């Protein structure tokens, strides 16, 4: 390393902590810890290994330092973020980009490297003075596997450190085993909650900055505590991984990994799925009777010609609003148990138990929440009534607590072989509930790249506006969108059996303006897709793919839900609407042009050819083509 930090680190570490760090024999890692020990000037540094003792120590320190408090179930804790620090700060989350690369990144929230780096260095100078900090080692994906990305976290928030021990696989032993070429390749995260108030919440929110340097695989996060801003290994690391994947020929996607279980055929089929916010991602991953591997982020690799996937994470950081015994029985049951869970920004009642919005339980009229001391009817400084919990309140919990965990897939070093990909958006009048793509490229360009989420009455602004969300990954794509899309297409080139790609839409409305199917119907669409993968069902052609036969869906509704499914509903749901689809593709073209003017011509040619194909179909079969009427 260019500077010897040994004496400085020894002065801030116990002998045991220093020995843990020195045992890794990694100059780049030592320089990272040493530089920020000097620059941020913490009082002490604790280095963690993979031991249960260190994991427990971090949790206990989060409680001792007041960042968390123990609840009625002693293994459960509560953390409150400050009143202005309860969601991702998109405005101040930026890429640090070298000047020569800025033109290619203008559609993404970026700042010129030297300017941004100088700013974050100024903000972080001495920010940890007087604080005890912790250094941890983690892995994105399973340790010691083809998917592993080693990570180091340096933080002064013991709540953040505790959260990460739940959410990620501890990887100190992995770092110990890294050989010389590997020792230079790991993600680095430096975080500080900054100055805290009497409740332990971040004060200087005007200096909140999350700057990501994908060129050097380091993330700086300052003056925040909300996990979406502070936990570097989650969405910040995802941006680093997407960038790295683009260079190396694999994929990092905003997807769940799950298994559809067909008990009659005694088979298990792995699916991955991407859905924009409020479009059914978590509820699909948690369909009753199926198995879950992961709920948020997946890495894909071509291993010996097979499409393999892992869940990047070990736990889940979930929105708790509307989690109740009826709609989310598996998660709700686990939130009621005396096991390690961190609740954030919910109400703690006089009984020292957590309460949240949509819990299905009558909450007390007073208690403590993110607002402070709370009583029913209390108003904030703007005169708005404060609800019992924040709408973005969360729970942090291990995935392997869930009874429906697929242990085989969850622990597999080489991941699972994926046979189906689901892309689901939200629209009320265009996309059918499930449609199969003819091939992988079509799946990327017509199912994934065209994803949209329709605004609802619960969304600020006009209702019914389609918001583009290609691959449901737009917030995290860290290089130009057109190149990213082409990398998705090329990933399966030469692969033995690429997964079948399906689109979903759970939100089609009938002429009366009401949703056509129940929340449980997503199980039917999943199992039709599962059957198609294994050749169980025939299909009807549309201008953009293949749809189910009525008789097959009727049988599935009876077998899985004990419901009747009318042929009239089937016809309405699976009618192909030509003009609506042409409009959807034109919106997609306009969005790509705006986001990435250098999008390859091949992509636009494909969409233009599809538009012409749909226009021809409209001339032959009418604007609304009923199932079975289209002939390719």
CB atoms within 10 A of CB 451: 29
Q: What's the angle, vertex CA 203, arms to CA 199 and CA 207, rounded to 5? A: 155
Active site residue 279: yes
Q: Is 563 exposed, middle or buried (0-12, 13-18, 19+ CB in 10 A)?
A: middle
What H or E segment, with its residue span, contains residue 395?
strand 394-398
CB atoms within 10 A of CB 383: 6
What H or E segment, with its residue span, contains residue 244?
helix 235-248
Query: How many alpha carbons lie under 13 Å from residue 581 in its C-beta half-sphere?
Result: 27
In angstroms, the CA 192 to CA 31 distance is: 18
CB atoms within 10 A of CB 487: 18
Strand-pair partners of 417: 308
DSSP state of 65: T
Phi-psi region for residue 358, left (φ > 0), alpha (ψ -120 to 50) or beta?
left
The answer to whether the beta carbons of residues 308 and 300 sit under 8 Å apart is yes
Give the tokens for residue 461: 């602004």
Give which of 558, 520, 555, 532 is closest to 288, Cα–Cα.
520
In angstroms, the CA 350 to CA 45 distance is: 37
Side-by-side strand order, sheet with 76-79: 69-70, 76-79, 341-344, 394-398, 315-319
In angstroms, the CA 245 to CA 156 distance is: 30
Whose tokens are 């700086």? That residue is 220
Three-class secondary structure of residue 296 per DSSP = coil
Q: Which long-range contacts (CB under 8 A, 24 or more apart) does 534-537 make?
A: 534/265, 534/267, 534/269, 536/265
CB atoms within 10 A of CB 388: 21
Whose tokens are 């973005």? That residue is 392
The answer to whether the beta carbons of residues 250 and 306 sit under 8 Å apart is no
DSSP state of 515: B
| Active-site pick, 40, 279, 492, 578 | 279
Three-class secondary structure of residue 471 per DSSP = helix
What H or E segment, with its residue span, contains residue 564?
none
- Residues classed as catalytic: 279
């Amino acid at each position: 390393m260019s500077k010897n930090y040994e004496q400085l680190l020894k002065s801030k570490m116990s002998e045991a902590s220093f020995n843990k760090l020195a045992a890794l024999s990694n100059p780049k890692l030592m320089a990272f810890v040493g530089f920020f020990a000097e620059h941020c000037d913490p009082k002490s540094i604790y280095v963690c290994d993979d031991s249960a003792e260190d994991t427990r120590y971090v949790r206990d320190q989060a409680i001792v330092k007041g960042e968390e408090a123990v609840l009625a179930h002693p293994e459960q804790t509560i953390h409150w973020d400050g009143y202005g620090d309860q969601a991702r700060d998109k405005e101040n989350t930026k890429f640090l980009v070298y000047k020569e690369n800025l033109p290619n990144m203008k559609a993404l929230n970026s700042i010129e490297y030297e300017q941004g780096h100088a700013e974050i260095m100024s903000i972080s100078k001495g920010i940890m003075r007087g604080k005890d900090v912790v250094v941890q080692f983690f892995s994105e994906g399973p340790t010691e596997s083809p998917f592993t990305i080693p990570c180091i976290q340096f933080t002064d928030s013991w709540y953040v450190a505790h959260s990460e021990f739940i959410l990620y696989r501890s990887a100190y032993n992995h770092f110990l085993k890294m050989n010389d070429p590997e020792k230079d390749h790991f993600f680095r995260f430096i975080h500080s909650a900054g100055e805290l108030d009497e409740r332990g919440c971040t004060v200087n929110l005007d200096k909140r900055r999350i700057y990501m340097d994908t060129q050097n695989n380091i993330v700086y996060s300052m003056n925040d505590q909300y996990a979406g801003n502070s936990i570097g290994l989650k969405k910040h690391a995802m941006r680093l991984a997407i960038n790295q994947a683009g260079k190396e020929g694999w994929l990092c996607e905003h997807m769940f990994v799950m298994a559809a279980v067909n008990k009659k055929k005694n088979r298990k089929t792995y699916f991955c799925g991407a859905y924009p916010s409020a479009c059914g991602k978590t509820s699909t991953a948690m369909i009753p009777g199926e198995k879950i591997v992961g709920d948020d982020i997946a890495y894909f690799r071509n291993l010996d010609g097979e499409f393999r996937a892992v869940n990047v994470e070990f736990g889940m950081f979930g929105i708790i609003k509307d989690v109740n015994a009826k709609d989310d029985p598996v998660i709700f049951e686990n939130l009621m148990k005396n096991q390690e869970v961190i609740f954030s920004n919910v109400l703690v009642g006089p009984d020292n138990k957590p309460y949240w919005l949509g819990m299905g339980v009558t909450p007390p009229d007073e208690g403590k929440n993110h607002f402070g001391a709370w009583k029913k009817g209390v108003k904030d400084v703007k005169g708005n009534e404060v609800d019992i919990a924040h709408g973005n309140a969360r729970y942090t919990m291990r995935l392997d607590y869930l009874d429906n965990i697929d242990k085989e897939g969850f622990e597999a070093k080489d991941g699972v072989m994926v046979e189906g990909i689901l892309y689901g958006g939200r629209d009320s009048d265009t996309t059918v509930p499930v449609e199969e793509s003819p091939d992988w490229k079509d799946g990327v360009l017509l199912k994934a790249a065209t994803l949209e989420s329709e605004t609802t009455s619960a969304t600020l602004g006009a209702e019914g506006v389609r918001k583009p969300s290609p691959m449901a990954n737009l917030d995290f794509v860290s290089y130009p969108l057109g190149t990213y899309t082409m990398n998705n297409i090329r990933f399966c080139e030469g692969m033995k059996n690429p997964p079948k790609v399906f689109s979903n839409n759970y939100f089609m409305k009938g002429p009366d303006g009401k949703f056509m199917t129940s929340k449980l119907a997503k199980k039917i669409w999943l199992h039709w897709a599962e059957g198609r993968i294994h050749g169980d069902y025939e299909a009807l052609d549309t201008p953009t793919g293949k749809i189910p036969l009525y008789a097959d869906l009727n049988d599935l509704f009876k077998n899985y839900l004990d419901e009747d499914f009318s042929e009239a509903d089937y016809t309405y749901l699976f009618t192909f609407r030509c003009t609506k689809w042409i409009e959807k593709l034109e919106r997609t073209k306009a969005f790509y042009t705006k986001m990435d003017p250098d999008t390859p011509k091949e992509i636009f040619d494909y969409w233009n050819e599809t538009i012409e194909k749909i226009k021809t179909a409209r001339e032959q079969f009418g604007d609304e083509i009923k199932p079975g009427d289209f002939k390719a």
